[in-house]
Structure 1
Amino acid sequence: MVAAYTRLFEPIKIGKVEVKNKIAMAPMGVLGLVTQDGCFSKRAIEYYIERARGGTGLIITSVTKVENEIEPFKPGLVPNISVNPFHFIATAGELTERVHAYNTRIFLQLTMGFGRVAAPVMLAEEPVAPSAIPNFWEPAITCRELTTKEVETLVKRAGEAAEIAVEAGFDGIEIHAMHEGYLLDQFTIALFNRRTDKYGGDLRGRLTFPIEIVQEIKKRVGKDFPVLLRFSIKNFIKDWRQGGLPGEEFAEKGRDVEEALAAARILEEAGYDGFDADAGSYDAWYWAHPPLYQEHGCYLPLTQKLKEAVKVPVIVAGRMEVPELAERALFEGQADMIAIGRGLLTDAEWASKVMAGRVDRIRPCIGCHDGCLGRGFLGRPLSCAVNPACGREKEYGIERASSARKVMIIGGGVAGMEAARVAALRGHQVALYEKSEQLGGHVIAAAVPEFKKDDARLLEWYKTELQELQVEINLNREVSPELVLEKNPDAVVVATGSKPAIPDVPGIDKGKVSTATDILLGKKQAGDKVVIIGGGLAGCETALWLARQGKQVTIIEILDDLMRAGIPVPYMNRIMLIEMLRYQGVEWRTGTSLLEVTEAGVILIDRSFHRTTLPADTVVVAAGFTPEQGLYRALMGKMPGLYLIGDSREPRNIMGAIWDAYEVARNI
């Protein structure tokens, strides 16, 4: 163990259960890894086992419903302990047995329900809530208010679920959730709870539901069985379906810090053995699921206050996967235990690599949400943008090839680097060719803004991996068809990337026009008034970066809204970026196209053919990319084992490039 990380590897007790280190796997929904009767699938079991094998001290599972009658979900969406309890014990029992073999503890997360934040498409009946309030996703739908008897039934179901958890071999449970605005949280927040029975009223009345839950569980399974509470210290609710940004001054309409600390003292006295703390709500989902625009350790100022208010352990997540940050948080008393969420999706061996002092070998999370929650919105199983094997570890892992082959990779962007990495792990002789002086492709420019530094960390990780694998790297080497035929490799992977798409309009060749890439790389400087053509993710992120430099920025987008073309930008990322643009004073015009670039600025045209002029010192083109396929087409039909991947196949995002490369290279 490296001395720099000694606090992380000290044991800790939650109640009377000892955990071997202070590293927990944060609870994350196993979307798509659930059987039709609500049990953990084989994929889910292997997914958790991989994190235990990687050295994690405590695993907190996906949210698991305690019932499916009061708030019935459609089958197979989330685990449910009550639909088929005997099968649940069988599958979860296999999971706990195997996790325990690695001396890892595992807690089952239990939920009373989703309430107003349940998407109606997930439900078999109407949504429910503490009171008759609007559904979050479809505000025109009013949620049905739960009866007192139904709430009491949920309390009993929580106790029954705890008994099943004990039978299945879990070491403890975590109650989901007095956080993020789920059903239990809605009962505790005055904005959502207008009840007049014992579950409403003042703070103590609104806390009756979580108090009765822990008391029921302790009564059924004993006071020594630990019960954690997932707990938001501040909701960041500015208004219904509106969140507050970091640093923004606003009136908190949800739970503020003062009320949270008062609640925590009451809940500790009621019997909770620890708090798994964070911040946010669905109304400010970019706090509960922090994207790349949030700082690493964004909850630490809040958890430090919680630690001063309670005596039981405080666990903290919130982009804590940077080892130095995690260790410092423990050393400075901002938390008792560190929960890693997406960082354990990207790299299941996070703990083992930290212990070995090889933090440079940890594959970084880039905060994109594309492979995890973003896939959930698309109805696809949980995985990870930079780790395609996540969630399908056994069936999609990398195995050594039966015989080594000569593999030529053309292009050194993330697609080319991933293809080279995977092919080398397979045991092949790999040579990578890049026509520029450095590896990274478009990600080099994308990583320039301060909020994209994790992209830069990803590039450094790839360089380290390729060096460790002794991949032959040829920089400043443009590949011709003749060179490929001369080298005569067994397989050729073309990852030549893409180039910016330039609109064909008068004046586009003027000196004031630049691509977003050239602006980010400093090849051209932006003036004070900037017009950005294209309101996709690249255009919006460039706009934010320039606005933070004091530029007056306007985005022009042909569609009706920002970031709506191509691959969907995950909800929390998109909403936070839009609110940050608004906060920074960026303006945008939708349903509008560029007609001409003039000496004074730009001429625009809307869908009613109305023309307007807009002054601009600089026009930045961020209108997408076109694939570079010249080399591939020149080689088509001339050799076997020819593959086209990444942006050169179809311009997309980092996840698309990596997943293409992984799929192809693991089968060469």
Structure 2
Amino acid sequence: MFERLFSPIRIRDMELENRVVMTGMGTRMVGGDGREVTDRLIRYHVERARGGVGLNTVEVCSVDAASAPKGFLALSDDKYIPGMKKLADAVHEAGGKICPQLWQGSLAVGSDPDAEILVASKMRLSRKVSIKGMSKERIHSIVKAYGEAARRAAQAGMDAVEFHAAHTYLPHVFLSGGINHRTDEYGGSFENRCRFPLECIRAIRQNIPEGMPLFMRIVCHDDYLENGLTEGEVIEFCKLAGREGVDVLNISRGNFLTRAQIYEIPPIDLPKGINVGPASRIRKETGMLTMPSGRINTPGFAEEILEEDKADLIAMSRAQLADPYFCKKAKEGKLAQINYCVGCDQGCYDYFINPEKDHISCMRNPAVGEEEELKVQAAEKPKRVMIAGGGIAGLEIADILHQRGHKPAIYEKTGTLGGQFVLAGTAPRKDDFGMAGRMAAQKAMESGIDIFLNTEVTAEVIEKEKPDVVVVAVGSVPFVPPIAGIDQANVMSSKEVLSGTKVPMSGNVVVIGGGLVGLEVSEHLERRGCHVTVVEMREGIGIDLGHMRKTAVQIQLEQGHIHQIVNAACKEIREKSVVLEVKGETMEVPADYVVIATGSRAKDSTDLQECCERLGIPVYVIGDAKRARKALDTIYEAYLAALEI
């Protein structure tokens, strides 16, 4: 199955077992002086190597000591070689191959106030703060640093190295005419802007063995950046880079000076395979081995790209977070057993930029970064576990319990499994949530887990079955705010709208609530021809969204015609309007229909808990049944409970 995807490929002296590459992703799994390899990072990479990925790419490694920020790995000194060697040896022992990204982060190192920020030309950050462009002497020292870091990578036993020339890091800053405004031989003309990154490539190539492959991560073009790189310029630069010894082009996209940052870690809102088209053109015109990245999350899609001769390798990175055994399962045809990335960005990016989090995580895989601590192990004594609710929390706990040798049974009140995940899949651009929910249900069925549909767990059911453990995962119900007129026939809940259980709406629709669900419902209705106004009590819409998703949703809203009213409280719903209070003033907005999207509250399960207490049966309340919140938290909680039982 997937013969092209799982066919070997040879690059210089390195042979990969398949075409799947896990590209570099920041993990924050560093230690020592804040830049060193940790056992946690090693276990994280080893698990992916065991799972069959063709090549592990280690996240960005600083090449220069003065500009090496804490929180990121470094290869800027010989003292980092032992840790890198330990990592390489462990991955090799697990049957994998490994490659570090050589990096100078330019503005990105500003996360550490002690790290020197380097830019090509003078850059104003605010009215009072600006950064001088690099001197030629400093340019030369960075070029030398790339070469020295490459030497260290080779000494550590790495199989390849990657030159990171994308995402507004220093090589990209020099290469892009939208950022580089120098007037000497390192700026101005395209030829001059290519000079610094080409010198870096030359230094790297001179310091690694002839048979060691050199990858290069490069943007396919610059988005939202005036005078930025065009695809034509990227193609010409890649040709020059190939002559200097680059073997593989890792095609990415995005910069963090503009909204184009969403393309670096593309959320579910963006199309799958956003870089496949540009990568195919670059591959054709350069004749070089090419690897597109960006929302390629299923083996079928990856196989299609290769079959259509658009690429040589496939970057499937977050897919390896969601399921470290993605490759083995796909190769064996166990597609329903895979936990698929849904592009939520909650654990991989939102955790990465959250200083309160120790390391990244993943909605679909709570064990990311905790491969040892959260290892699924056989239960000492198998137990019969009754699970009330077949939503994503119930499916998750059932899966882990089954893996541990317990006998879980899912009781679902409705006729379908998947709950809110499947419902979320009906919202614009969220098909992957629906797919994930359906696949989780199929996984449970294929695993032989007992499933009882159209069966509600009651105290009587518990008394009759007398399970060893009860898990309450009955989810949440919409929160209904105390608004006058809310019980009118023209008022519906967001769930009723997305599930299609009510008559189609038309005309003027007011959506009360500008959080994630409110915005999804608004866009859903706007696409169907309604004139939508979204009303939010807080100072802005989408406040509960993560950074990337919020930006993507704002872009979509700007392209539509959805009216937004913030700092507004709904006081009354009338037959053809709603009455709002906005900053102390009364406003009346036309409304043929009103949708309530003010969040959810846990569904009351007191009777089930009291029954279990009376019978002496341990009970776990998990997910939205405990407290309505993000799916990442819900699944993590279910996973922990499954390990505890």
Q: Is the 8 A contact 1:264 1:309 kept in 2?
A: no
Whether 1:110 aligns to 2:97 is no
Measured in 1, the distance between the counterparts of 2:511 and 2:124 equals 37
Q: Is the 8 A contact 1:532 1:539 kept in 2?
A: yes
Deviations 1:497-554 (A, max 9, x none): 1101112111111111111110011112221322111111111122222222232222
Whether 1:492 aligns to 2:470 is yes
2:439 to 461, 466, 469: 461
**Residue in structure 1 matched with residue 194 of structure 2 by the alignment:** 207
**Residue in structure 1 matched with residue 10 of structure 2 by the alignment:** 13
Whether 1:546 aligns to 2:543 is no
Cα distance, 1:288–1:139 mapped onto 2, change above 3 Å: farther
| Letter matched to residue 652 of structure 1 | R
Whether 1:53 aligns to 2:54 is no
Measured in 1, the distance between the counterparts of 2:36 and 2:25 equals 15
SS at match of 1:221: coil
Whether 1:470 aligns to 2:448 is yes
Q: State the 1:72 CA deviation.
A: 4.4
Whether 1:231 aligns to 2:218 is yes
SS at match of 2:409: strand
Q: Is the 8 A contact 2:506 2:529 kept in 1?
A: no
| Letter matched to residue 598 of structure 1 | R
SS at match of 2:205: helix
Whether 1:658 aligns to 2:632 is no
**Residue in structure 1 matched with residue 644 of structure 2 by the alignment:** 667
Q: Is the 8 A contact 1:317 1:340 kept in 2?
A: yes
Measured in 1, the distance between the counterparts of 2:552 and 2:128 equals 23
**Residue in structure 2 matched with residue 247 of structure 1 by the alignment:** none
2:514 to 522, 528, 535: 535
Whether 1:440 aligns to 2:414 is no
**Residue in structure 1 matched with residue 347 of structure 2 by the alignment:** 371
SS at match of 1:666: helix
| Letter matched to residue 153 of structure 1 | S
Whether 1:31 aligns to 2:7 is no
Whether 1:331 aligns to 2:307 is yes
| Letter matched to residue 361 of structure 1 | Q
**Residue in structure 1 matched with residue 334 of structure 2 by the alignment:** 358
Measured in 1, the distance between the counterparts of 2:128 and 2:472 equals 50
Cα distance, 1:622–1:35 mapped onto 2, change above 3 Å: farther
1:622 to 578, 592, 597: 597
SS at match of 1:371: coil
2:384 to 395, 403, 406: 406
Q: State the 1:156 CA deviation.
A: 0.9
Q: Is the 8 A contact 1:64 1:111 kept in 2?
A: yes
Whether 1:264 aligns to 2:224 is no
Q: State the 1:266 CA deviation.
A: 2.0
Q: State the 1:102 CA deviation.
A: 4.5
1:427 to 405, 412, 421: 405
| Letter matched to residue 230 of structure 1 | R
Q: Is the 8 A contact 2:62 2:68 kept in 1?
A: no
**Residue in structure 2 matched with residue 161 of structure 1 by the alignment:** 149
SS at match of 1:296: coil
**Residue in structure 1 matched with residue 498 of structure 2 by the alignment:** 520
Measured in 2, the distance between the counterparts of 1:107 and 1:355 equals 23
Worse overlay, 163-172 or 345-354 = 345-354
Q: State the 1:326 CA deviation.
A: 0.8
Deviations 1:451-495 (A, max 9, x none): 111111211221122123322112212222243244332221111
Measured in 1, the distance between the counterparts of 2:322 and 2:30 equals 17
Deviations 1:239-295 (A, max 9, x none): 5xxxxxxxxxxxx54212122112222222222112101222222112121110111
**Residue in structure 2 matched with residue 249 of structure 1 by the alignment:** none
2:290 to 300, 314, 320: 314
**Residue in structure 1 matched with residue 365 of structure 2 by the alignment:** 387
| Letter matched to residue 271 of structure 2 | E
Whether 1:132 aligns to 2:119 is no
Whether 1:648 aligns to 2:622 is no
**Residue in structure 2 matched with residue 64 of structure 1 by the alignment:** 61
Q: State the 1:145 CA deviation.
A: 2.4
SS at match of 2:352: helix
Measured in 2, the distance between the counterparts of 1:33 and 1:618 equals 53
Measured in 1, the distance between the counterparts of 2:522 and 2:429 equals 13
Q: State the 1:584 CA deviation.
A: 1.3
Q: State the 1:591 CA deviation.
A: 0.7
2:73 to 68, 79, 93: 79
Q: Is the 8 A contact 1:435 1:477 kept in 2?
A: yes
Taking structure 2 as the reference length, what is the TM-score of the superposition?
0.95
Measured in 2, the distance between the counterparts of 1:301 and 1:456 equals 26
Measured in 1, the distance between the counterparts of 2:28 and 2:598 equals 33
Q: State the 1:667 CA deviation.
A: 1.0
Q: State the 1:141 CA deviation.
A: 4.1
Q: State the 1:175 CA deviation.
A: 0.9
Cα distance, 1:141–1:588 mapped onto 2, change above 3 Å: farther
Whether 1:273 aligns to 2:270 is no
SS at match of 2:387: strand
**Residue in structure 2 matched with residue 346 of structure 1 by the alignment:** 322
Q: Is the 8 A contact 2:423 2:434 kept in 1?
A: no
Q: State the 1:392 CA deviation.
A: 1.5
Q: Is the 8 A contact 1:274 1:312 kept in 2?
A: yes
Structure 2: runs of 5 or more not aligned: none
1:198 to 179, 185, 195: 185
SS at match of 1:373: coil
Whether 1:600 aligns to 2:576 is yes
1:586 to 551, 562, 567: 562
| Letter matched to residue 309 of structure 2 | G
Q: Is the 8 A contact 1:534 1:623 kept in 2?
A: yes
Q: State the 1:91 CA deviation.
A: 2.3
Q: Is the 8 A contact 1:404 1:429 kept in 2?
A: yes
Cα distance, 1:15–1:584 mapped onto 2, change above 3 Å: farther
Deviations 1:602-643 (A, max 9, x none): 111112x11111112221111000111333553474335221
1:94 to 86, 95, 116: 86
Deviations 1:104-131 (A, max 9, x none): 3211111012x2344x443325643222
SS at match of 1:180: coil
